[in-house]
Structure 1
Amino acid sequence: MTHLLFVCSRNQLRSPTGEAVWQPREGFTARSAGTSPHARRPIGPADIRWADVIFVMEPKHQHRLQAAYARLLAYKRLHCLDIPDDYRYMDPALVALLDDRVARYLAGDSATR
């Protein structure tokens, strides 16, 4: 089972959509969290430890995680999906982006193992 963690700022739209899209897929379990202290579910060290692969929506999320959790991230696969905050929860265009970009990274990760 591969543990996928989706991260955005407030954990309201993009990262919960990632969780909803990937959670039901065989071989995966998914969570989501936000980098803001005001997020619906703020990210913490336990989330980083749990995750096999971490997907952030924007470079700023990656920078925040690296600043706060550098040691925990040392051996984690961390990918930036470059998905701006322009979508609603489960927006079909957002679902399509998450399908495509996450699948490409996962295929690339498994090829390097």
Structure 2
Amino acid sequence: MKILFVCSKNRWRSPTAEKIFHGKHGYDVRSAGTEKGARIKVTQGHIGWADIIFVMEKKHLQRLKDTFSIMLSDKKVINLDIPDDYVFMDEELIDILKARVSDYLDV
């Protein structure tokens, strides 16, 4: 299964999710950001590639819909509702990610 995690700048939350879930249960995981200054900016290629997309906040879902609405019509997109309060590999962030993603995937 191909999983995409999306946050704003692709610096803390989505790269943490990519690191902790990649390779588990055969998952292929990538991460990207929605903002202009993102480390890796989300593209049509990311959306087309992903089987499931997790966004960190409602605003990320809206930005994806604004830019990729047609491509998202057959995609499962889930808002994890995780605020931008954490740094890369923060233990609390890891615990929250595992708990919220476990509702949708085997982790």
Counterparts of 1:38-77 in structure 2, within 5 Å, are 38-77=37-76
Counterparts of 1:1-113 in structure 2, within 5 Å, are 2-106=1-105
**TM-score with structure 1 setting the length:** 0.91
Alpha-carbon deviations, 1:32-69, whole Å to 9, x = none? 00000110000000000000000000000000000100
In the TM superposition, what is the alpha-carbon distance from 1:4 to its structure 2 partner?
0.6
Q: Which amino acid aligns with 1:105?
A: Y
Q: Structure 1: which 4+ aligned runs deviate by more than 3 Å?
A: none
SS in 2 for 1:26: helix
In 2, distance between residues paired with 1:24 and 1:92?
19
Count matched residues. Answer: 106
In 1, distance between residues paired with 2:63 and 2:25?
30
Identity %, equivalent residues:
46
Q: Which amino acid aligns with 1:29?
A: D
More moved, 55-64 vs 19-28 = 19-28
Uncovered stretches (5+) of structure 2, i.e. residues with no partner? none
**TM-score with structure 2 setting the length:** 0.96
SS in 2 for 1:54: strand
In the TM superposition, what is the alpha-carbon distance from 1:103 to its structure 2 partner?
1.4
Uncovered stretches (5+) of structure 1, i.e. residues with no partner? 108-113
Q: Which amino acid aligns with 1:35?
A: T
In the TM superposition, what is the alpha-carbon distance from 1:78 to its structure 2 partner?
0.1
